[in-house]
Structure 1
Amino acid sequence: MESFFKLKENKTNVKTEIMAGITTFVTMAYIIFVNPNILKLAGMNQAGLLGDAAEAANIGFEDPIVGAVFVATCLAALVGCLIMGLYANLPFALAPGMGLNAFFTYGVVLQLHYTWQQALAAVFISGILFIILTVTGLREAIVNALPDSLKRAIGGGIGLFIALIGLKSAHIVVSNPATLVEFGDFTQASTFVPLIGLVIMGILMARRVKGAILIGIVVTTLLGIPFGVTHIPDAFSWSIPSLKPTLFALDFKGLLNLGEASFIGAIMSVITVVISFSLVDMFDTIGTLIGTGQKAGFVNEQGKLKNMEKALFADAIATSVGALIGTSTTTTYVESTSGVSEGGRTGLTSVTVGVLFLLSLFLAPFVGIVPGEATAPALIIVGVLMMTSVKYIDFEDFTEALPAFLTMAIMPFSYSIANGIAAGLIFYPITKLATGRGKEVHPAIYVLAILFIARFTILPH
């Protein structure tokens, strides 16, 4: 381990690295509860129920497809963490990403009407695209092309979108024909139980308790038992769920054949989905790597992270593998900061996280009883964490402020991450051109803006 991970060179040891890995895992383990609960709403359940219908049905891990998503979540995290640790030798952990799973469910499936099999195909394509961009070095060109304000706004917009999903799942915000939305009924157990969970998580987060979100989910689940929100099965199955229902279930043919839509419209729709997956993953990962890397001392004066290309490669491979086995885009987790804070400096930390995700497969009986009301507060908390990027946007410059604001606002208000990205890319060149600052816009942004305008106006969709 000393020679492979270069522990002494990085001023660390085996004990410190393993403890750092355990710390990181505890802070991000909530994904094994949340990811299956979000993806089952995309119809990844035996009944094929979508959205609220699936939530109301209280589908659990006894459902073979939901169980398979749980297994895929753990295995995708294992693959990503092992590549990050053994290839890049960095202490960053990966798992199916928050925001990306929401885009998969609410944007691609519920709004654009793809099946979950087709959505998995789009995720796989985005992973392959990411591999090509990383290997060829085109990734840096794309990163340089997008303005910093939009990069920040994408993260903030996803935070608002996730928070809205959490508020909706907690029944704190409900629909109203007259006002669009309103407060839910706080006398109902399905509302006050997740509200109490939100209070618990908020207090734990404020007090900087490690594993605050995970602890909050467990406590809320237990609290839901006497109120009938959490349902305990008559018998537990201790076998690991089969991966077969989602393994290689990708539907590439269907992805390009959307009913009566024209071929050009279908192609544009697919391109929009793939670009959205890729952009969100790319900037989420790069932001996490740079931010966490700075804390670990891995970023040089030019702002470049050591082994960044290898880290991005780990992310891309894990995304492709995750799609093949049945989960949404895998990305690097900002919770890796907790492990770095505990002294994690090498890939041994991420390898430890990967092993713990593998061992989590044996927790399926317990994970399966966690209701959506228990994971809803976690979505709201994650939304708060993702909003931190907004503070770096220059709101004094209206040519930066308007596109950034529209990026963030359109995501929750149109229930689509892709629409938010499109809005930002359309209005950024417009505001710059109108103020005589068109040269500040990279040519690629003009191309994307024209394509998105055509997508929403001229081309059939």
Structure 2
Amino acid sequence: MSSPDLTAAKTSSGWLDRRFALSARNTSVRIETLAGITSFLAAAYLLVVIPSLLATGGMDRGAATTSTIIVFVLSTIFMGLYTNLPFIVGPGIGGSVILGVTLAATEHVAWQTGLGIAFISGVLFLILTLVGARSLVVRLIPAQIKLGLGASIGLFIAVLGFRNAGMVIANAKTNSLALGDFSRPGTIVALIGLAAAVVLQGRRVPGAILWAILIAAAAGVPLGVTHLPSSMISLPHDIMPVAFKLDIPGALTVAAIPYLFVFFAAEFFSTLGTTLAVGAKANLLDENANLPNINRPFLVDSIAATLGPVFGIPALTALVESAAGVEAGGRSGLSSLAAAAMFALMLLFVPVALAIPKEATAPALILIGLSMFSTIRHAHFDDFTDAFPVLSMVLLTLMSNSFGTGIAGGLLCFVIVKLLAGRFKEVPWGLVVLAIPLGYYFWTVVKHH
């Protein structure tokens, strides 16, 4: 006879299997847990980056750190339970740059007003989701663009990894990317992690990405890159210095409209690209390269984008770092719950999370990005009018350092190229209409840079 503990374990596992369709998706509780931890580690650097960017605009960094963790936990739990998809939801770097650097530090717009703009953007986001407009846009997007999404986002992730590793730097003199100093301790740590990841993945070791991150972090201790915390546990900072401070009346001005559109467009195309590209990586797309029930993740991220500014954090979206968990085998919302649990722990163990340097997670981003870039082989390059928009999307992503801008540019390019070639029938009228706000978006981006 089996012991009561073993029987209880089997019952629990069976319930999780049914609730998250683990068997149907060829996964298990163990795989999903490892995947969730891997996603968490890949995104943990945001716990440092996001509060730092917001602090640039005058926000309290300690309070912003606690709020960042809270919105990560709540949004990711909602995503896992409601959609059963392996996505983590949190603040994107782009939105934090817009608020902390562009609006507050450069344009001298109060960060409270910036939060108000982000909140209004989230409300519009939610309304379009509820009326089904976002799903309509997904159906309007040409299959060729969808096939190139993975490559565009993969390039973004890989370049982010190379930059975090110090292998690639921005050359101020030539205004271009250049090779970094490979003798730096941080870069050496990244190279050790990259070598470990290649060896472990090549030998098909379970949790290879996670092990590589931990190996790199450990290697960083003697090199002075990984700094062990003096205290493992710390109480979270009070969130009230940043929570419930949004200034909505101040955001309802004509001058705020361009920033409102930048917030909106960046969130819209970031989430669109992430869901389709990461969904493809997890083999969750249908035969038309669409994600079934895509309105569910859209609803989650639009609600998150609305509530985030209330807690003092702008521009929440489904994050590309979710691809790390998918690469580790994540296929269901259970991996999202595991990631959320790890973020929740960081409310007490913030020093531990901050001890893992970005150089240790860089190899995971590099390998995942290069793996996703390989999806470009499915695009059709025998027709110039099909190939040019896809290649433009990839290059715009690289040049703008924003895959949201890259995707928007690819769509606009598709419309322009097809119309100039006289192939009007290949462009849906809805896409022609969408090209108008896309053109305005690019005019706004150029004007404010």
Relative to the length of structure 2, the TM-score reads 0.77
Contact kept in structure 2, 1:28 and 1:211, CA below 8 Å: no
Counterpart residue identity of residue 358, structure 1 = A
- Map 1:95-244; keep pairs closer than 5 Å: 95-96=89-90, 101-105=92-96, 124-174=119-169, 175=171, 177-178=173-174, 180-235=176-231, 237-244=233-240
Distance 1:204 1:20, change over 3 A: closer
SS of the aligned residue for 1:159 comes to helix
Contact kept in structure 2, 1:170 and 1:373, CA below 8 Å: yes
Using the alignment, how far apart are the partners of 2:155 and 2:425 within structure 1? 31
Distance 1:451 1:220, change over 3 A: same
- Map 1:37-56; keep pairs closer than 5 Å: 37-40=48-51, 42=53, 44-45=54-55
Look up the match of 1:412. 398
Distance 1:212 1:324, change over 3 A: farther
Contact kept in structure 1, 2:155 and 2:394, CA below 8 Å: yes
Report the CA distance between 1:240 and its aligned residue. Answer: 3.1
Distance 1:148 1:120, change over 3 A: farther
- Map 1:35-434; keep pairs closer than 5 Å: 35-40=46-51, 42=53, 44-45=54-55, 65=61, 67-88=62-83, 90=84, 92-96=86-90, 101-105=92-96, 124-174=119-169, 175=171, 177-178=173-174, 180-235=176-231, 237-250=233-246, 252=248, 263=254, 266-289=256-279, 292=282, 294=284, 308-325=294-311, 326=313, 328-331=315-318, 333-334=322-323, 337=326, 350-351=336-337, 353-434=339-420
SS of the aligned residue for 1:362 comes to coil
SS of the aligned residue for 1:231 comes to coil
Report the CA distance between 1:176 and its aligned residue. Answer: 5.6
Using the alignment, how far apart are the partners of 2:341 and 2:261 within structure 1? 36
Deviations 1:179-213 (A, max 9, x none): 83432222232332323233333333444444434
Using the alignment, how far apart are the partners of 1:414 and 1:153 within structure 2? 17
Unaligned runs of 5+ in 2: 1-10
Deviations 1:430-460 (A, max 9, x none): 2111222122112233234344445556996
Deviations 1:326-367 (A, max 9, x none): 26423273456468x58x76x666545544443343331211
Contact kept in structure 1, 2:37 and 2:210, CA below 8 Å: yes
Counterpart residue identity of residue 412, structure 2 = I
Using the alignment, how far apart are the partners of 1:447 and 1:248 within structure 2? 37
RMSD, aligned CA: 4.1
Look up the match of 1:449. 435
Report the CA distance between 1:220 and its aligned residue. Answer: 2.4
Contact kept in structure 1, 2:154 and 2:373, CA below 8 Å: yes
158-167 or 245-254: bigger deviation: 245-254
Relative to the length of structure 1, the TM-score reads 0.75
Aligned counterpart in structure 2 of residue 29 of structure 1, from 24, 40, 47:
40
Counterpart residue identity of residue 34, structure 1 = Y
Using the alignment, how far apart are the partners of 1:184 and 1:393 within structure 2? 32
SS of the aligned residue for 1:227 comes to coil
Unaligned runs of 5+ in 1: 50-62, 258-262
Report the CA distance between 1:138 and its aligned residue. Answer: 1.9
Using the alignment, how far apart are the partners of 2:97 and 2:148 within structure 1? 19
388-397 or 110-119: bigger deviation: 110-119
Distance 1:309 1:212, change over 3 A: same
Aligned residue pairs total 426
Contact kept in structure 2, 1:81 and 1:94, CA below 8 Å: yes
Using the alignment, how far apart are the partners of 2:231 and 2:438 within structure 1? 51
Distance 1:225 1:335, change over 3 A: closer
Look up the match of 2:421. 435
Look up the match of 1:60. none
SS of the aligned residue for 1:96 comes to strand
Contact kept in structure 1, 2:69 and 2:346, CA below 8 Å: yes
Look up the match of 1:59. none
Distance 1:22 1:453, change over 3 A: closer
Contact kept in structure 1, 2:325 and 2:335, CA below 8 Å: no
Using the alignment, how far apart are the partners of 1:191 and 1:5 within structure 2? 41
Distance 1:283 1:93, change over 3 A: closer
SS of the aligned residue for 2:349 comes to helix
Report the CA distance between 1:421 and its aligned residue. Answer: 3.4
Using the alignment, how far apart are the partners of 1:84 and 1:372 within structure 2? 25
Contact kept in structure 2, 1:194 and 1:376, CA below 8 Å: yes
Distance 1:410 1:41, change over 3 A: farther
Report the CA distance between 1:30 and its aligned residue. Answer: 1.3
Distance 1:242 1:394, change over 3 A: farther
Report the CA distance between 1:233 and its aligned residue. Answer: 4.8
Counterpart residue identity of residue 424, structure 1 = G
